[in-house]
Amino acid sequence: MTEENQNNQTQKQQQQQVQIKVPENLRSGVYSNAVSVNVNQNEVIIDMGYILPNISPTTIEVVSRINMNHRTAESFMRILQNALLDFRNKQAQLREKKQA
C-alpha cells in the first residue's frame, strides 16, 4: 500500500462518526458529590457516591460503579481534563466580556 493510500485510509477513519445512544432508564443521570478511585493490575474502578446529609458518622452511598481497563481510564482522564479546560476557558471569556 502506498503512503498516499495509507493517509487516505487514516483520514477516512478519523472522519467516521460514532453515535452514542443512552437508554431511557439512564437518561436522567445520577447525582454524585463524592468519588473514590481504586487501581489494580487489571482495571480501574471508579465509585461515584452521594454524601447522605445529616447522618453521623458521615456516610457515602455508592450510586454508580464504573470498571475500566487502564487504556480506557487514561483516555477518559484526557477527555475529562480537556472538557473541564474548555469549560473554564469559556467561562473566563464570558467574564472578560462582562467586564469590558
Q: Which three cell numbers stand for residue 22?
A: 443512552
**Strand, coil or helix: what is 38?**
strand
| Dist CA 41 CA 44 (whole Å) | 8
Its pTM stands at 0.70
Is residue 77 domain-shared with residue 56, that is, in the same domain?
no
Is residue 99 domain-shared with residue 84, that is, in the same domain?
yes
CA dihedral sign of residues 58, 34, 30, 39:
negative
Residue 66's nearest CA partner among 42, 83, 84, 43 is 43
Residue 50's nearest CA partner among 33, 29, 30 is 33
Is residue 78 domain-shared with residue 49, that is, in the same domain?
no
**What range defines the domain where residue 73 resides?**
69-100
Number of domains in the chain: 2
Could you report the per-residue pLDDT of 9-22, keeping only the tens digit for each? 666 666 788 899 99
Could you report the per-residue pLDDT of 40-85, keeping only the tens digit for each? 999 999 999 999 999 999 999 999 999 999 999 999 999 999 999 9
Is residue 81 domain-shared with residue 60, that is, in the same domain?
no
